[in-house]
């Protein structure tokens, strides 16, 4: 059950560029958050705009009752958070949303992250290590600056495959190209997990469709409330056995969705539905 | 101090209601806040049938404001009566239903269904949604159609009838009088202001629907002014709405003539908003030596002479 409370900032670390690690005290989020869940959080006076912003929880520390967010200061909401001083409070509601489903036994979790989309995968890597499940991170961005916080993954037994568009670190090109290269070279059972910009999520969904792989996407539409009342964050989702897509709130029914059920802009049905119709006609 | 108010036959334990479209069907907030704190809540707008609403993006933040074009996505009035009303009966709060229609007949039909359902305290008539092709603001932008819809709802129910007025008109008093003449019991003032936000990179609107309704603190002075005008123009009690997020904001509306207020966009920003406003109202009354919040209503001292009220 999500809990709304003032959450004092307990630590702030400025990484390179506009990237920050911000830790807040919030016992319920610290104890209950699962990988892929998020908080709605804002700095400043409670009921004044801007709206709270959704951020995936990067890590939790239950004994300290704290959680950490990986924040890129890009707009009014995120920038205000990064300007908080330790001791000052943010208003925070969480944990919210549907988490990632863990991979089945013997299945390698292939995590695909774009920029600060890496956030939920830190928690996910901790859980994978705890459950002795293999994992691997494909981490992409425009430049080396966008690939912050890679080191902790190695310590969690998760190899990192970096990719940058300018080639400043790792493979030059898109992160999905690095993923496809890996998929081409091995035959073990894998499940894809993706978090990042829409174009990257869509590319991962196409790979999953083409190769018939299990895949989950953490979608990141604009959210107003986080609890399903504003209906601002709806996405078109179509399960295989439904004739029509249905609008689902990314905040309460996501943000994690089966990649095969997502109906992308310009498409009329989901991959799951298309496959089902193919099977029926075959 | 007394925070209870009575208007249009409604007894509210305090003057705070949750505004339609910003509070879902109320049950979404179970576990996050105590719904019994509220004087009342107004459901998301309901038609006869479920609705899908607009394409996305549906919301965009603007300076001190929120621009939205949701398009009245909803579960339909029968789904609400069947699935939601029984859950709301557990709470000590007045439940109002926001009624929509593509046609006058649909408004009346939805109202009849609501009238027969247990646990409903009143009907708010949505003649002001700017984000639908038919209905909504089409009715609320023409005084004759406003009269027609409100009269049809009036004939369909014995519940209090509360039209929600649009601010997208030159003279809101004309519409307030049309509602009064049609037999309304109170007025909700106001819905969102029609707006347009442009993405300069793509040269497209930031919302998929194109235009949207502006809410939040950005519209508060406009809403206070219209509430004040409407309250002076008719004998009906007025419920003030527009950018309320603090006790001081609510007091502005009450002093300008509102008998109660609705909290809208602030629900998204802070689920703790009711607790804060109620504490702030009580503290204000004590500080000013006022026993009863009703004594504040319409006490605005205006700096220049005005035409008599209800002229």
Q: What is the mean pLDDT of the segment spanning A182-186?
A: 93
Residue pair B232/B270 in contact by the 8 Å Cβ criterion: no
Rounded alpha-carbon distances, angstroms, from residue B258 to A75, B20, B174, B288, B294: 36, 17, 18, 19, 10
For B26, the closest chain A residue by CA position comes to A229
CA distance A47 to chain B (A): 5
B306 — pLDDT class (breaks 50, 70, 90): confident
Q: Considering only CB atoms, which chain B residues are within 8 Å of A3?
A: 32
For A96, the closest chain B residue by CA position comes to B32
**CA B71 to CA B192: how far, in whole Å?**
13
Subunit contact A47:B53, Cβ cutoff 8 A: no
Give the torsion through C-alpha atoms of B124, B130, B133, B138, to 10 deg.
Answer: 70
Subunit contact A48:B31, Cβ cutoff 8 A: no
Pairing outcome for strands B40-42 and B94-99:
parallel
Residue pair A199/A214 in contact by the 8 Å Cβ criterion: no
Q: What is the mean pLDDT of the segment spanning A250-279?
A: 92
For A2, the closest chain B residue by CA position comes to B32
DSSP string, A101-165: PPPPTT-EEEEEEEGGGGHHHHHHHHHHHHTT--EEEEEEESSGGG--S-HHHHHTT--EEEEET
Residue B311 has pLDDT above 70, yes or no: no
For A1, the closest chain B residue by CA position comes to B31
B230 — pLDDT class (breaks 50, 70, 90): very high
Of B64, B216, B268, the CB nearest to A225: B268
Of B61, B267, B272, the CB nearest to A50: B61
Rounded alpha-carbon distances, angstroms, from residue A85 to A88, B51, B74: 6, 45, 42
Q: Which pLDDT belongs to residue A204? A: 98
By percentage, how much of chain B surpasses pLDDT 90? 93
Subunit contact B68:A48, Cβ cutoff 8 A: no
Residue A282 has pLDDT above 80, yes or no: no
Residue pair A162/A171 in contact by the 8 Å Cβ criterion: yes
Whether the CB of B280 is below 8 Å from some CB of chain A: the reply is no
Q: What is the pLDDT of residues A11-58, one digit of tens each?
A: 999 998 999 999 999 999 999 999 999 999 999 887 888 899 999 999
Q: Considering only CB atoms, which chain A residues are within 8 Å of B272?
A: 4, 46, 91
Catalytic residues of B: 129
Rounded alpha-carbon distances, angstroms, from residue A24 to A79, A223, B137, B253: 16, 21, 44, 36
ipTM over 0.90: yes
How far is residue B94 CA from its own chain's centroid? Answer: 14
**CA A126 to CA A97: how far, in whole Å?**
19
Subunit contact B68:A221, Cβ cutoff 8 A: no
Whether the CB of A268 is below 8 Å from some CB of chain B: the reply is no
Q: Considering only CB atoms, which chain B residues are within 8 Å of A229?
A: 22-24, 28-29, 44, 267-268
Q: What is the pLDDT of residues A224-236, one digit of tens each?
A: 999 999 999 999 9
Q: How far apart are the first and last CA of chain A?
A: 45
Q: Could you tell me which residues come within 8 angstroms of residue A280 by beta carbon, excluding any fewer than 6 positions away?
A: none
pTM above 0.90, yes or no: yes
CA distance B250 to chain A (A): 13
| A198, containing H or E segment | helix A198-211
Of A1, A222, A229, the CB nearest to B28: A229
Find, among A66, A65, A34, A70, the residue nearest to A54 by Cα: A70
B132 — pLDDT class (breaks 50, 70, 90): confident
By percentage, how much of chain A surpasses pLDDT 70? 100
Q: Which pLDDT belongs to residue A50? A: 86
Of B52, B57, B271, the CB nearest to A4: B271
């Amino acid at each position: 059950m999500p809990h709304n409370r003032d959450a004092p900032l307990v630590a702030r670390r400025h990484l390179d560029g506009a990237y920050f690690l911000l830790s807040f005290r919030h016992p319920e989020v610290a104890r209950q958050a699962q990988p892929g869940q998020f908080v709605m959080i804002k700095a400043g006076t409670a009921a004044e705009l801007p709206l709270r912003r959704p951020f995936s929880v990067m890590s939790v520390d239950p004994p300290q009752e704290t959680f950490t967010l990986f924040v890129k200061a890009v707009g009014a909401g995120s920038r205000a958070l990064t300007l908080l001083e330790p001791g000052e409070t943010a208003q925070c509601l969480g944990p919210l949303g549907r988490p990632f489903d863990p991979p089945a036994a013997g299945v390698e979790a292939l995590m695909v992250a774009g920029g600060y989309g890496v956030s939920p995968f830190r928690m996910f890597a901790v859980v994978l290590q705890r459950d002795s499940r293999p994992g691997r991170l494909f981490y992409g961005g425009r430049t080396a600056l966008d690939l912050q916080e890679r080191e902790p993954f190695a310590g969690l037994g998760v190899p990192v495959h970096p990719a940058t568009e300018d080639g400043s670190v790792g493979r030059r090109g898109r992160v999905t190209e690095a993923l496809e290269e890996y998929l081409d070279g091995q035959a073990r059972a894998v499940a894809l997990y993706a978090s990042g910009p829409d174009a990257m999520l869509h590319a991962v969904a196409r790979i999953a469709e083409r190769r018939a792989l299990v895949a989950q996407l953490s979608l990141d539409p604009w959210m107003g409330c986080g609890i399903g009342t504003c209906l601002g964050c709806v996405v078109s989702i179509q399960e295989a056995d439904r004739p029509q897509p249905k609008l689902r709130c990314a905040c309460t029914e996501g943000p994690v969705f089966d990649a095969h059920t997502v109906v992308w802009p310009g498409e009329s049905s989901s991959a799951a539905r298309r496959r089902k119709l193919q099977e029926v006609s075959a | 101090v007394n925070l209870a108010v009575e208007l249009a036959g409604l007894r509210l334990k305090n003057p705070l209601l949750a505004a339609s479209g910003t509070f879902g069907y109320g049950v979404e907030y179970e576990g996050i806040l105590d719904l019994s704190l509220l004087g009342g809540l107004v459901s998301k707008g309901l038609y006869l049938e479920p609705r899908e609403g607009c394409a996305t993006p549906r919301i965009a933040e603007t300076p001190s404001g929120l621009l939205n074009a949701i398009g009245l996505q909803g579960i339909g009035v029968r789904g609400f009566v069947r699935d939601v009303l029984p859950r709301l009966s557990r709470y000590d709060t007045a439940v109002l239903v926001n009624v929509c229609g593509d046609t006058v007949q649909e408004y009346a039909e939805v109202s009849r269904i609501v009238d027969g359902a247990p646990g409903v305290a009143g009907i708010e008539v949505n003649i002001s949604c700017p984000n639908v092709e038919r209905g909504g603001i089409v009715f609320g932008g023409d005084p004759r159609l406003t009269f027609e819809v409100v009269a049809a709802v009036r004939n369909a129910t014995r519940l209090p009838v509360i039209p929600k007025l649009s601010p997208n008109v030159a003279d809101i008093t004309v519409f307030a009088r049309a509602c009064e003449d049609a037999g309304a019991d109170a007025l909700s003032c106001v819905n969102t202001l029609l707006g347009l936000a442009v993405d300069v990179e793509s040269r497209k609107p930031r919302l998929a629907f194109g235009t949207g309704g502006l809410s939040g603190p950005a519209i508060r002075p406009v809403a206070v002014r219209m509430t004040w005008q409407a309250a002076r123009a008719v004998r009906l009690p007025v419920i003030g709405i527009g950018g309320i997020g603090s006790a001081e904001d609510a007091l502005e509306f009450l002093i300008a003539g509102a008998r109660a207020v609705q909290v809208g966009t602030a629900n998204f920003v802070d689920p703790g908003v009711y607790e804060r406003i109620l504490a702030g109202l009580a503290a204000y009354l004590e500080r000013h030596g006022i026993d009863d919040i009703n004594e504040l209503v319409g006490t605005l001292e205006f700096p220049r002479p005005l035409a008599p009220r209800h002229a």
